[in-house]
Amino acid sequence: MEKIKKTPETRYGIVNFEKRKYPRFNIDLPIEYSRSSLSIQEGRAANIGKGGLMLYLPERLELGQQLSLKLFFPSGKGLETVQTLVQVVWTDIDLPRNGDLRTGVSFTEISTEDVEKLTIFLESLSSH
C-alpha cells in the first residue's frame, strides 16, 4: 500500500486572539469627551468592558492622550451617566466609518459611585 503525501492546506482569514482581561459587550451609546474643560466633543461608544471602551470619534487622537469622558446609558430609572478619565490606547488606521474614527480607551480614573453604576450596567448586558 502506497502512502499518499498530503500537503497542508493554506488557510486565509482573520484570527482574533482576545488579549483583554474582561469581556466586551457591543453597545451603541452616546458619549461626550474633552481634552480640556473648554471644548466638549460628541461621539459614540461601540463596545464596553470593565477595562475600557471602543469609541467612534470625529477626530484622530494621539496614543496616550488623556480625556475626560461622560457615558450615557439607559437604566431602570431613566438615563444614567458615568464620568471617567480615560487614556487612548489605540486608534484605527482604517478609513473612518461615516466620518468617525475607531479609538480604544482604557479607564484610568473613575469614582466608586460610577464604578458601581458601570458594574450594574455591565451585569445587565451579560444577562441578555
Whether pLDDT at 55 is above 50:
yes
Would you say residue 104 lies in a domain? Answer: yes
pLDDT category at 19 given cuts 50, 70, 90 is: low
For residue range 24-54, what is the model confidence (pLDDT) as tens digits? Answer: 889 999 999 998 767 899 999 999 998 999 9
C-alpha cell at 36: 480640556
Would you say residue 5 lies in a domain? Answer: no
Mean pLDDT score of the chain: 82
pLDDT category at 64 given cuts 50, 70, 90 is: very high
Domain count, the chain: 1
Q: How far is CA 89 from CA 92, 101, 126, in A?
A: 11, 14, 24
Range of the domain at 112: 25-126
Would you say residue 14 lies in a domain? Answer: no
pTM: 0.77
Would you say residue 89 lies in a domain? Answer: yes
Would you say residue 50 lies in a domain? Answer: yes
Would you say residue 3 lies in a domain? Answer: no
Would you say residue 49 lies in a domain? Answer: yes
CATH code: domain of residue 38: 2.40.10.220
Can you list the positions of beta strands (E) in 35-120? 41-48, 52-57, 66-75, 78-91, 101-110
Is 87 in contact with 66 (CB distance < 8 Å)? yes
DSSP state of 114: H
Would you say residue 69 lies in a domain? Answer: yes
